[in-house]
Amino acid sequence: MQRVAFKMQLYKGFEAEYDRRHKEIWPDLQALLKSSGISEYSIFLDETTNALFGVLLIEDKTKLDELPSNPVMQKWWAYMKDIMESNPDNSPVSVPLKEVFYLP
């Protein structure tokens, strides 16, 4: 398994809405992520800066490159673009993070 970590930015005032949308995550999106080999996926919120920190485990991280072309992923991004920093294609602005410590 490979760990992947990244950060994104939530707009101020949308913390509760972000939480609500993720509590109601679409079953087809959940199925897509799992079928891509993701076995664990967490997103944390830094409440002082509204930075989002995501970490996931995936069998083969090259599979992540296939997600942007999936209609379900594109629909989710369009749904989320009003509450977080997004690129012109509606994908969230996402900054990869370098792992500097791991305690297995």
Residues labelled catalytic:
22
Closest of 55, 46, 59 to residue 97, by C-alpha = 55
Question: 82: closest CA among 31, 8, 11?
Answer: 11
What gap in Å lies between CA 29 and CA 43, rounded to an integer? 15
Give yes or no for a contact between 8 and 96, defined as CB atoms under 8 angstroms apart: no
The residues with which 56 forms a beta bridge, in sequence order, are 4, 41
